[in-house]
Amino acid sequence: MADMRVNLAGVELKNPVTVASGTFGFGREYSEFFDISKLGGISVKGLTPLPRQGNPAPRIAETPMGMLNSVGLQNPGVDAFIAHELPWLKAQGTVIIANISGSTPEEYGEMCEKLSAAGVDMIEVNISCPNVKAGGLAYGTRPELAAEVTTVAKAHAAVPVMVKLSPNVTDITEITKAVEGAGADAISLINTLRGMVIDVKTRRPILKMNTGGLSGPAVLPIAVRMVWEVHNAVKLPILGMGGVSSGSDAAQLMLAGAAAVAVGAATFADPMAPIRVLEELGELCDSQGLSSVTQLTGAVQPW
């Protein structure tokens, strides 16, 4: 059998299959379905400095090949996470990645300090949220703002910092290079694509916030393309995500350049999806005679 261990910015994962932030909560619900220690890692639900109730309902809409969400970062706040969720998570035997979102660079810095001291293994900095100081523009859409947040996060974090990129940009490599130059240890991509669904009978958007983030199988080809572009543009390790629901999906992202992958929306339709993806990926490696799953990373052969 192939060796399934991978290294992500100095953090060893027992295998390359993790679960994406926002889809797995803090793991308690899914632990009723399977032993979550089998996962390479867990990226927890996005955390903010203070508790957030999220956006008003309806905030989920199905699409033919995925779903739209405008949940709005509902979470108990970083302090409550550290006090009530992290102790349980740390006992589960897998890598813990804390996903954070802030409105100012200072908020990112404060959360990095708290979470590093609390003992998470890695921090995933979500730069796809509004920047109050920049008039509502997302950090992830301008290189200089992405670099600013990365610099502050790195200055306050005692663990590796992974920056989660938005796909809602003209050139993702431009943002990636800025983040690399600011000292990021790794990159995760893609976040959701902005979309909209309209009820033709009522003529109203189905989501209360009008638009939301598209995830699911429909976004996989975009994720593969962006991972490939980023892999060819920078030297940073990549956590690839977006539409993964099978072992071959995971292999596509790894061939494009990802060191590890995250399963997200697929867990809503099938709570066992991460375990199935892992098993299928292992079988794929064995069928190709690979001694290590790392042999997949960046091994695509373009025409």
Q: Residue 136, SS3?
A: coil
Q: Which two tokens stand for residue 44?
A: 């927890």
Domain-embedded: residue 252: yes
Its pTM stands at: 0.97
> What pairing do the DSSP bridges indicate for beta strands 238-241 and 60-63?
unpaired
pLDDT of residue 130: 67
- Tens of pLDDT, residue by residue over 118-165, are 999 999 999 987 666 777 778 999 999 999 999 999 999 999 999 999
How many other CB atoms are found less than 10 A from the CB of residue 173? 15
pLDDT digit of tens for each residue in the chain (303 aa)? 999 999 999 999 999 999 999 999 999 999 999 999 999 999 999 999 999 999 999 999 999 999 999 999 999 999 999 999 999 999 999 999 999 999 999 999 999 999 999 999 999 999 987 666 777 778 999 999 999 999 999 999 999 999 999 999 999 999 999 999 999 999 999 999 999 999 999 999 999 999 999 999 999 999 999 999 999 999 999 999 999 999 999 999 999 999 999 999 999 999 999 999 999 999 999 999 999 999 999 999 999
Q: Which two tokens stand for residue 29?
A: 């619900």
Using only the alpha carbons of the chain, give its radius of gyration: 18
Domain-embedded: residue 254: yes
Domain-embedded: residue 303: no
CA distances from 291 to 53, 183, 259, 288, 294 (A): 47, 32, 16, 9, 9
State the SS3 of 11-37: EEECCCEEECCCCCCCCCCHHHCCCHH
Q: Residue 270, SS3?
A: coil
Domain-embedded: residue 302: no
Q: Residue 193, SS3?
A: strand
pLDDT of residue 127: 92
pLDDT of residue 136: 73
- Tens of pLDDT, residue by residue over 50-74, are 999 999 999 999 999 999 999 999 9
Question: Where in the sequence is the domain holding 147, given as residue range(s)?
Answer: 6-296
Instruction: Give the DSSP H or E segment for 282.
Output: helix 273-287
**Is 129 designated active site?**
yes
CATH of the domain at 82: 3.20.20.70
The phi-psi region of residue 219 (left if phi > 0; otherwise alpha if psi is between -120 and 50; otherwise beta) is alpha
pLDDT of residue 137: 77
d(CA 180, CA 146): 10
What residues contact residue 23 under an 8 Å CB cut-off, 6+ apart? 215, 263, 264, 265, 267, 268
| Catalytic pick among 6, 19, 129, 175 | 129
Domain-embedded: residue 268: yes
pLDDT of residue 237: 98
Domain-embedded: residue 301: no
List the Cα angle 73/74/80 in 5-degree steps: 110
Q: Residue 237, SS3?
A: coil
pLDDT of residue 138: 84
Instruction: Answer whether 6's CB lies under 8 Å from 13's CB.
Output: yes
Which stretches within 41-183 are classed as H helix? 78-80, 86-90, 105-118, 143-156, 172-181
Domain-embedded: residue 219: yes
Q: Which two tokens stand for residue 233?
A: 């543009």
When divided into structural domains, the chain yields a total of 1
pLDDT of residue 132: 67
